Amino acid sequence: MGFGNKPQALDSLLKEFLKKIPHRTELKRGMILHAWPEVVGDRIASVSKNVHFEGSRLVVEVENAAWRHELHTNRFSIAKRLNDKVDAKIVKEIVVRG
């Protein structure tokens, strides 16, 4: 019944599960939104408002100009880390708005 099998990490089990179900893009978008604070850190997460998808673009509102610049400057590496989290290219672009 699988008791002899080597245990898999929940993360890898979830990725396998997502490959087999419909609407996985929407689920992966939800996973990315959930992972946002972990990927960007507490400081940026605390100044990020209304993080949402518009198609394949992840839109983030940041009121403070300095933090907006910081996020804009690092948007490509952040997108890569978010996509790596869900093992798919879900975030094509990050748009930072004031």
- In whole angstroms, give the CA distance from residue 20 to residue 41: 31
Domain coordinates in residue numbering, the chain: 48-98
- 60-65 LR contacts (CB < 8 Å, sep 24+): 60/94, 60/95, 60/96, 60/97, 61/96, 61/97, 61/98, 62/96, 62/97, 62/98, 63/98, 65/98
Structure confidence by residue, pLDDT tens digits, 34-91 = 999 999 999 999 999 999 999 999 999 999 999 999 999 999 999 999 999 999 999 9
- pLDDT of the residue at 1: 45
